[in-house]
């Protein structure tokens, strides 16, 4: 299986955040996110394990129980299941997030 990213569209989530669901199976999913400067990924939690990679830009990564940290292009983060986390973008940013298992909520409601 393969997915051509150019054939997938971003969905506007509001607040300067857009999401593009790429490839997924029952066990894993990758998603590209785009944030305008100043946009925030509100603090939230989910039962999925997550690895994120900063493709471009600069952001403040926030995780419950940790000090905030600035991440830049090439940096990555791991979020354990049910840990509250979020981001604040210092510049325009693009991220690649990988979830296991896949996020059914992203498929049911692509927004």
pTM exceeding 0.85: yes
Structural domains of the chain in order of their starting residue, each with its CATH number:
32-108 (2.60.120.10)
95 Cβ neighbours under 8 A, 6+ residues apart: 32, 33, 34, 35, 52, 53, 54, 55, 59, 87
Q: Of the candidates 105, 88, 103, 110, which has an alpha carbon nearest to the alpha carbon of residue 29?
A: 103
**pLDDT digit string (tens) for 25-79?**
999 999 999 999 999 999 999 999 999 999 999 999 999 999 999 999 999 999 9
Q: How high is the pLDDT of residue 109? A: 64
Q: Is the pLDDT confidence value at 110 over 60?
A: no
Report d(CA 6, CA 10) in Å as an integer: 10
The residue behind tokens 């857009």 is: 18
Say how far apart CA 37 and CA 102 lie, in whole Å.
28
């Amino acid at each position: 299986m393969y997915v051509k990213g150019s054939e997938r569209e971003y969905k506007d989530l509001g607040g300067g955040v857009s999401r593009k669901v790429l490839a997924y199976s029952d066990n894993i999913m990758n998603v590209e996110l785009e944030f305008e400067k100043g946009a925030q990924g509100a603090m939230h939690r989910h039962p999925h394990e997550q690895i994120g990679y900063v493709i471009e830009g600069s952001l403040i990564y926030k995780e419950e129980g940790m000090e905030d940290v600035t991440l830049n292009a090439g940096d990555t983060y791991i979020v354990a299941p049910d840990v509250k986390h979020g981001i604040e973008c210092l510049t325009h940013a693009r991220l690649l997030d990988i979830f296991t298992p896949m996020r059914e909520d992203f498929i049911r409601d692509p927004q």
